[in-house]
Amino acid sequence: MSDSASPRPIRIGILLSGKGRGSNMQALIDATRDGRIPGAVALVVSTSPGAPALDRAASSGVATQLVPAPDYPSPDALDAALAEAFERAEVDLICLAGYMRLLTPGFVRRFAGRMMNVHPGLLPSFGGKGYYGKRVHEAVLETGARFTGVTVHFVDDEYDHGPIILQRVVPVDDDDTPETLAQRVLVEEHRAYPEAVRLFAEGRLCIEGRRVRVLPTRS
């Protein structure tokens, strides 16, 4: 948690896995470079060899590091290596961008209040283990929900469970498919994630139990 105005631009670390394109990662990089976020992406880390997002980050001039999950004998060992990478880069905030592994309690304690994730649904609905990507949008349509959206939340040691920072609502159209719904939700992800990071960088997020209070702008 950040409880005072940041005395310097924040350093952001991004953690990803899988074979995603890294569009949320790119949205954060772009927001730091056009001034919407007072800071910079200092390091992008992937646990999956050959992740396209890692190449995308490198081509954007951002430092990258591969920490291959298969090289480590346990989740604790993997997370220790991840923590070392981010601490060496002196990051203030870690942003998950398509990271599919459950972080260990030790890692979560180490970066408590300094990790965020974006989820393509309105938590606590359509979240938890197995609810990611297309599966979220399929579930929304299967239930007949009239609204879905985006949630940015702090990360704890459960899937999609940490305190909610902000949410954005997306109406569900009668003719939506998982693909069309995903496209409109993704637009809001790219808006909401940088906004949440900006609030953190400005020292305006206060965690109170399960709730996050957004403090007013300081004059």
Active site amino acids: 119
Q: Report the Cα–Cα distance between both ends of the chain, in Å, rounded.
A: 21
C-alpha distance from residue 15 to each of 108, 139, 145 (Å):
13, 26, 31
For 117, list phi and psi in degrees, rounded to 5: -140, 155
Q: Which residues pair with 167 in a beta bridge?
A: 151
Token pair listed for 74: 């346990």
Cβ contact 106:77 at 8 Å? no
